[in-house]
Amino acid sequence: MTSQHTTEDHGLLRFLTCGSVDDGKSTLIGRLLFDTKAILVDTLTNLERTSQRRGLSSVDLSLLTDGLQAEREQGITIDVAYRYFSTGTRKYIIADAPGHEQYTRNMVTAASTADLAIILVDARRGILTQTRRHAKVCQLMGIPQVVVAINKMDLVNYDPQVFAKLQEEFADVAATIGLESVRYVPMSALEGDMIVDRGDAMRWYEGPTLLEILESAGTSHSETPTHHEVFRMPVQLVCRPQDSANPELHDYRGFMGRISSGMVRPGDEVVALPSGQRSTVTHVEIGGVDLNEGVAEQSVTIRLADEIDISRGDMLAHPDTAPQVVKEAQAMVCWLSETPLDRARTYALRQTTRTVKTKIADIPFRLDINTLAEDATPAQLQMNDIARINLRLAQPICCDAYAQNRGTGAFILIDEATNNTVGAGMLL
């Protein structure tokens, strides 16, 4: 029995598969899991049984992620499925996104947390509207690494010219929408070529397999700036254990949160926002145990030298490069609700741990996803529309541009009548 438990740990990579309907996203994930031996015997037996019952000759690998009754009935993906595998050195979280236009909002959910996107293209059908839409969402969501998988190469005789032509076509799209650092891999998810194993059918391709790309990709942690100057921690809770029997805790005040960027050490000066009051960090701790430092993505508790007024929704930051405090903002937004955006209404905006009321003052343009052109001043926004909006806020928020800092530049809009999350926004 071999153990995958090793001391070398390359952290955790989150990626999503996206692209148009039936381009093979779910099959690709099934293949990755199958070839990295992450599928367990009973799951496979179940799958074989289901595939047979559905009259399929070989095992349908997409059934691995299409876990809902409705999905299996219709043979499509409706909502994101999360899957896990580990290569021994790195742990992966995969989000399998649906391709159907109707479920684009679920793809947006998957994209928001990804460090890398795999955009699938069916070698026969080429780049479709939905491919373009997903590529645009990946760009808007600031996914730092993109792999375009030209799939179903088995159906075009593994022709290198098909691959070259699609690569060229996608490069045009990428240039139009501003998608950078794109890599291309030809593959057959069904046959398993160029995913984990190279296979024999495409000797003409000399680049890395998909798994090789994943193994060497940067994780969100390595992408996040980690130096002192960009330290930001939105405060989730204030810890005041005064009722404790321990008199030493009587004056304890800890500010709890997850560091969104940068690092912090005892002795550092910090500013509390939006108040602008300054103090010095005395302790960085977790669960009452002192740490030497806290780094991006860590959840910590920070204690300060001075009694300043800080509550949930405030932010601690490095004083030299503190984020801006604004009551008006411009943003790109993906509209996620069946109810159109209504400019007469007030929405709740949540950014970091802060919730404020907002009105949409203006919609300068909506992106036409077919042409990627900008429609000026649309009357309203429908589900799955992507648009530029100008916001007026009832109270200030402490923020950065999304392109600079995903953690402090992202927000959601909540419909206060239904409590639903209706918009995903990225500050400009």
Map the footprint of other proteins across residues 224-263, applying CB under 8 A. 225-229, 236-237, 239-241, 243-244, 246, 249, 252, 254, 256-258, 263
Provide the 3-class DSSP secondary structure of residue 140.
helix
Nearer to ligand GTP, 50 or 355 (CB): 50
**Residue 27 is a binding residue for ligand GTP (CB under 6 A):** yes
**Residue 93 is a binding residue for ligand GTP (CB under 6 A):** no
Structure token digits, residue 373: 């052109």
Question: Residue 229 and residue 317: Cα distance in Å, rounded?
Answer: 9
Name which position in 83, 132, 133, 152 contacts ligand GTP (CB under 6 A).
Answer: 152
Name which position in 131, 145, 209, 353 contacts other proteins (CB under 8 A).
Answer: 353
Size of the site for other proteins (CB under 8 A): 84
For the chain, the straight-line distance linking the first and the last C-alpha, in angstroms and rounded, comes to 52
The identity of residue 228, as a single letter, is H
**Residue 38 is a binding residue for ligand GTP (CB under 6 A):** no
**Residue 79 is a binding residue for ligand GTP (CB under 6 A):** no
Question: Residue 228 and residue 275: Cα distance in Å, rounded?
Answer: 21
Phi, psi of 309 (to 5 degrees): -85, 110
Name which position in 14, 18, 25, 64 contacts Mg ion (CB under 5 A).
Answer: 25
- Options 92-100, 241-249, 319-327, 401-409: segment touching ligand GTP (CB under 6 A): 92-100
User: Which positions from 74 through 93 interact with other proteins, judged by CB under 8 A?
Assistant: 78-84, 86, 90-91, 93
Nearer to ligand GTP, 188 or 358 (CB): 188
Nearer to other proteins, 321 or 324 (CB): 321
**Per-position x/- string for 100-129, each x denoting binding to ligand GTP as judged by CB under 6 A, each - no binding:** x-----------------------------
If one counts every other C-beta atom within 10 angstroms of the C-beta of residue 213, the result is 18
Name which position in 77, 109, 337, 351 contacts ligand GTP (CB under 6 A).
Answer: 77
Nearer to Mg ion, 26 or 139 (CB): 26
**Residue 403 is a binding residue for other proteins (CB under 8 A):** no
**Per-position x/- string for 331-350, each x denoting binding to other proteins as judged by CB under 8 A, each - no binding:** -----x-------------x
Question: Residue 351 and residue 396: Cα distance in Å, rounded?
Answer: 11
Rounded-to-10 torsion of CA 242, 248, 252, 258: -110
**Residue 189 is a binding residue for ligand GTP (CB under 6 A):** yes
- Options 95-103, 169-177, 323-331, 351-359: segment touching ligand GTP (CB under 6 A): 95-103
Size of the site for Mg ion (CB under 5 A): 3
R_g of the chain, CA atoms, integer Å: 24
Question: Residue 189 and residue 195: Cα distance in Å, rounded?
Answer: 7
Nearer to other proteins, 54 or 203 (CB): 54
Task: Specify whether the CB–CB gap between 399 and 323 falls below 8 A.
Answer: yes
- Options 183-191, 356-364, 370-378, 411-419: segment touching other proteins (CB under 8 A): 411-419
Structure token digits, residue 80: 């994101």
10 Å CB burial of residue 308 (0-12, 13-18, 19+) is: middle
**Residue 105 is a binding residue for Mg ion (CB under 5 A):** no
**Residue 31 is a binding residue for Mg ion (CB under 5 A):** no
Residue 283 DSSP code: E
Structure token digits, residue 166: 């699609």
Question: Residue 279 and residue 289: Cα distance in Å, rounded?
Answer: 21
If one counts every other C-beta atom within 10 angstroms of the C-beta of residue 180, the result is 10
Nearer to ligand GTP, 106 or 358 (CB): 106
Q: Which residue in the shown chain puts its C-beta closest to ligand GTP?
A: 99
Cis status, amide bond into 144, omega within 30 of 0: no
**Residue 221 is a binding residue for other proteins (CB under 8 A):** yes
**DSSP assignment string, 313-338:** T-EEE-GGGPPEEEEEEEEEEEE--S
- Options 151-159, 198-206, 225-233, 374-382: segment touching ligand GTP (CB under 6 A): 151-159
Which are the contacts of 145, defined by CB distance < 8 A and separation ≥ 6?
115, 116, 117, 181, 183, 217, 218
Give the binding site for ligand GTP (CB under 6 A): 21-27, 62, 76-77, 98-100, 151-152, 154-155, 188-190
Give the binding site for Mg ion (CB under 5 A): 25-26, 77
